């Protein structure tokens, strides 16, 4: 599927399309098993872009196909793929995945004793195994020269959806999407704080 048809649209439309896609940086590749949609100004109080454009969230305003990588709680990086047209904030948080290539390197980045199921289970862990940090912010995941690449799934996956995780505002929105029965999907816990 062409990039335009695959990645552009509202975050809630694009998010389930990303399930089964593979994101790769260097030797490590992760098959996405769980994602979460976030909209823009005045549309989604849990979104970084809810109150408008800032230096921090600028990449979230397009164009589609860019990585929006941010630092949270003073210790973790999290990665999103931007989906909206230029000037309209919309992004999908990469919540969890299965490491399908570079497992040994992923283990070295997470630490010995981490089970394969937990290597990229959660947005900060996923960013860690791929070594995504602020330097990746704004990268086009479809540019052949990009150090981070996204490969679209061969077909749309069957998915489930439900409330978002770890947000206090608009947590009831069924904008979290996951592959049913996949062991790498996060355990659902209602949030009591805003993390985006």
Within a domain: residue 189? no
Range in 41-55, 57-71, 134-148 the model is least confident about:
41-55
> How many CB atoms neighbour CB 79 within 10 A?
27
Q: How confident is the model at residue 138 (pLDDT cuts 50, 70, 90)?
A: very high
**191 pLDDT above the threshold of 60:** no
Q: What percent of the chain has pLDDT over 70?
A: 92
| pLDDT confidence of residue 73 | 72
Within a domain: residue 160? yes
CATH code where residue 54 lies: 3.10.300.10
For 25-52, give one letter per residue: b (16+ CB within 10 A) or e. beebbbbbbbbbbbbbeebbbbbbbbee
| pLDDT confidence of residue 72 | 84
**134 pLDDT above the threshold of 90:** yes
Within a domain: residue 162? yes
Within a domain: residue 73? yes
DSSP of 154-178: SSPPP-EEE--SS-SSSTTS--EEE
Residues 61-87: pLDDT tens digits? 989 999 999 998 778 999 999 998 888
Residues 1-10: pLDDT tens digits? 445 578 999 9
Within a domain: residue 195? no
3-state SS class at 67: strand
- How many distinct structural domains can be found in the chain? 1
Within a domain: residue 128? yes
Non-local (6+) Cβ contacts of 112 within 8 A are none
Domain carrying residue 145: 3-178
Taking the C-alpha atoms of residue 29 and residue 46, their distance in angstroms, rounded to an integer, is 29
| pLDDT confidence of residue 190 | 59
| pLDDT confidence of residue 189 | 62
Instruction: Please check whether residue 80 is in contact with residue 71, taking contact to mean a CB–CB distance below 8 angstroms.
Output: no
């Amino acid at each position: 599927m062409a990039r335009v048809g695959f990645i552009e649209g509202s975050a809630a439309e694009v998010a389930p399309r990303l399930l089964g896609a593979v994101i790769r940086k260097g030797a490590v590749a992760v098959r996405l098993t769980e994602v979460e949609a976030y909209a823009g100004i005045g549309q989604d109080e849990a979104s970084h872009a809810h109150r408008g454009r800032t230096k921090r969230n600028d990449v979230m305003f397009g164009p589609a196909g860019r990585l929006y990588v941010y630092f949270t709680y003073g210790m973790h990086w999290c990665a999103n793929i931007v989906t909206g047209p230029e000037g309209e904030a919309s992004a999908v948080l990469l919540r969890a995945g299965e490491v399908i290539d570079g497992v040994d390197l992923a283990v070295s980045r997470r630490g010995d004793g981490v089970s394969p199921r937990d290597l990229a289970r959660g947005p900060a862990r996923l960013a860690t195994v791929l070594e995504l940090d602020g330097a990746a912010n704004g990268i086009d995941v479809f540019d052949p020269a990009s150090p981070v690449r996204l490969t679209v799934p061969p077909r749309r996956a069957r998915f489930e959806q439900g409330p978002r995780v770890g947000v206090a505002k608009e947590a009831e929105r069924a904008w979290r999407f996951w592959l049913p029965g996949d062991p790498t999907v996060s355990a659902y816990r209602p949030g009591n704080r805003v993390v985006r």
